[in-house]
Amino acid sequence: MAVVYTDGACSGNPGPMGIGILILIGKKEFKISESIGEGTNNISEYSAVIRALELLKEKGQGSAVINSDSQLLIKQIKGEYKIKKPHLKELKKKIDILSNEMKIQYKWIPREKNQIADKLSKEAIGL
């Protein structure tokens, strides 16, 4: 099972967005730091999960624990909170489609346990 850490960053809200991802598969480590255009912090958080799921599929991983320090994101993905914004509903739908044939657990973690993904997301937008 892969262990994934995701984070999104935004300089201004809205503003330039970046995503940071750390994926651990056995002894292998994959890091992603990408600028993804203009938008909000919530969009960057969702986009980080989407990119992580895409990479897991590319690597042939059928199961993972995805960790995020965004409690809102995790609760919305798990269906514990309603998603009101149409654009976030679309991103959630994309997550559902990508993870359809996978066994994914979503877990909220404190910010201090997500430092690598946080650093990667901020580096992507020059912070």
pTM, 2 dp = 0.96
φ, ψ at 86 (rounded to 5°): -55, -40
Whether 53 and 62 have beta carbons less than 8 Å apart is answered as no
d(CA 127, CA 121): 9
d(CA 110, CA 1): 21
* Residue pLDDT tens, the chain, 127 long: 999 999 999 998 899 999 999 999 999 999 999 999 999 999 999 999 999 999 999 999 999 999 999 999 999 999 999 999 999 999 999 999 999 999 999 999 999 999 999 999 999 999 8
Going from the C-alpha of 113 to that of each of 20, 104, 108, the distances in angstroms are: 14, 19, 10
Which domains, from first to last, does the chain contain?
A: 2-60+78-123 (3.30.420.10)
